[in-house]
Every structure is written in structure tokens, then in C-alpha cells.
Amino acid sequence: MDGAPGMTIDELARESGITSRNIRAYQTRGLLPSPRMEGRVGYYDEGHLARLRYIGGLQERGFSLAAIQCLLEAWEEGRGLNDVLGFEEALTAPWIDDHPERVSLARLMELFPDAVEDPSLLERSLKLGLLTVVDGEFEAPSPILLRVGAELVAAGVPLAATLDEYERLVADADRIALRFVDLFESNVWEPFVAAGMPPDRLAAVTEALHRARPTASMAMDAALAHAMERAVAASAARQVARFLPGSSDPEP
């Protein structure tokens, strides 16, 4: 954190969603490295945040704290802590700058008027995870997706059709993400594991993971852009052909 002292424990707690009490407990168990001390104040950095995200991810998959501690101790043995934290940071860092935002019911009804007449569309948005309820208020986990949906609705696409497309998009995105992950696992991670996870290669694996982030996004952006060009051109040709002499009358 260029020029900045880092995060206090309360700031780390807000950023990670883990209580200060649990952060201290993780330190006591050796799950989290000690902060850098300046006087009586401890400062944490992105490596500590990455470790907390890593621990949280393992807990969500059913690992107990004792199992996580054994895993981390084995992982760090023979490897520098900075290298391990650097890998965890690359592994757990968000792939997009898209933070949850609160949104009022009135604003939702303004953006999505279809939901005024059909409240089930709001319920469906909740089931799909596009909206959640936090402290009695609506929250959009992904404001970007909320804005995309609003733009489609404003362009004339019914909200129901927009939600249908979101479900299909998520399924397609999951399949593509799994292929990219498999590409990394097969060609970078598995050879590293097969070699005994040598400490001197951990930095190279971390660098490969850093490279994979923008590469995956750029590949999808470019592939989708070219696919849209082809699809729009084909659609335009079909629509124009309907009005050419000899074609059937255009549908009303």
C-alpha cells in the first residue's frame, strides 16, 4: 500500500467481513501472521486480507479451523511466508471492482417498472441472487449487473426476458470459467504439484495466476465482441432481405 501504513484491525475487519475478535483469535492460533507494529498500533496489509479470504473460502467448503491450520502449516513449511501470502493474494483477490450497493424499493420500481405490476419478478431476482435483503433493505451484490439489467429494460426488453437471459448467461459463464481454470490447473498447477511444489517455483506460479486474470477477461471481451459483430451483421442481412423484391411480406 504505497506510502500508507496499512489497515488497523478495525479496518481489516470491515474490509474482510470478519470480526476483530475472530481476527485476534486467528492470530493466536497461528492462522494469521502478526501485523507490523508502529508503536502500540498494529498495521495489516493486503496479504493479511488475502489470508482471511482464503480461510473463509476453506470454511465455506467445510474445512474446520484445525484442518485449515494443518493445511497452512504444511503449505508454509519450506516456503517463505511472503511468497505464500503473495500466492494467496493472487488466488483470492476479486476479479472485478464490483462492490455491493444498497438500493431502495422505490428506485428498483423506477428502474424495473414491470415489477410494479408483477411482484413475482422481484422475488425471482432475489432467488437468482441479483438482489439480497440486508438489515431489511435491498442490496445489489453486483451493481454492474443491476445497471446492465436496467439498460436492457430501458431499451425495451421485458424484465422477465432479461432475467431469463441472465440465467443462461450465468450457465455459459460457469462453463467458460471452468475451462479457463482447467487450463491453468492442467498446465501450471499440476506440474508444480507433481514436482513436489518446490519453493523456488512458487513465485512463477503466482505470476502465472496474475497473468491469467486479465488474459481471461481480454479473451472473453474480444471473442464476444467479434461474435456480436457476426450476429448483428447476420441479423441485419435477414431483416433487409425480408423487404427485398420477391420476399414474403414482412410480418406486422
pLDDT value of position 249: 53
- The answer to which of 16-20, 25-29, 67-71, 129-133 has the lowest mean pLDDT is 67-71
Closest CA to 188 of 90, 67, 53: 90
∠ CA 226-231-234 to the nearest 5 degrees? Answer: 125
Whether residue 252 is predicted with pLDDT greater than 50 in this model: the reply is no
Residue 65 vs residue 78, higher pLDDT: 65
pLDDT value of position 84: 66
As a whole number, the mean pLDDT across the chain is 85
Element (H, E) at 140: strand 137-140
Q: What is the mean pLDDT of residues 219-230?
A: 90
DSSP string, 12-42: HHHHHT--HHHHHHHHHHTSSPPPEEETTEE
Whether residue 134 is predicted with pLDDT greater than 60 in this model: the reply is yes
Q: How far is CA 196 from CA 51, 61, 86, 230, in A?
A: 23, 25, 19, 47
Q: What is the bridge-based pairing of β-strands 41-43 and 36-38?
A: antiparallel
Whether residue 1 is predicted with pLDDT greater than 50 in this model: the reply is no
Compute the distance between CA of residue 245 and CA of residue 10 in angstroms, rounded to an integer: 73
Whether residue 27 is predicted with pLDDT greater than 80 in this model: the reply is yes
pLDDT value of position 160: 96
- The answer to which of 45-54, 67-76, 99-108 has the lowest mean pLDDT is 67-76
Q: What is the bridge-based pairing of β-strands 132-134 and 41-43?
A: unpaired
pLDDT tens for residues 79-123? 665 666 677 667 666 777 788 899 999 999 999 999 999 999 999
Number of alpha carbons in the 13 Å side-chain half-sphere of residue 10 = 1
C-alpha cell, 59: 470454511
**Share above pLDDT 90 across residues of the chain, in percent, rounded to a whole number:** 38
Which fold does the domain 9-92 belong to in CATH?
A: Multidrug-efflux Transporter Regulator; Chain: A; Domain 2 (1.10.1660)
pLDDT value of position 168: 95
Element (H, E) at 130: none
Compute the distance between CA of residue 22 and CA of residue 106 in angstroms, rounded to an integer: 37
pLDDT value of position 2: 47
Tally of helices (H runs) and strands (E runs) in the chain: 12, 5
Backbone angles phi, psi at 37, to 5 degrees: -95, 135
pTM of the model: 0.63
Whether residue 152 is predicted with pLDDT greater than 50 in this model: the reply is yes
Residue type, 61: R
- The answer to which of 11-20, 41-50, 153-162, 191-200 has the lowest mean pLDDT is 191-200
pLDDT value of position 172: 92
**Share above pLDDT 70 across residues of the chain, in percent, rounded to a whole number:** 87
pLDDT value of position 83: 66
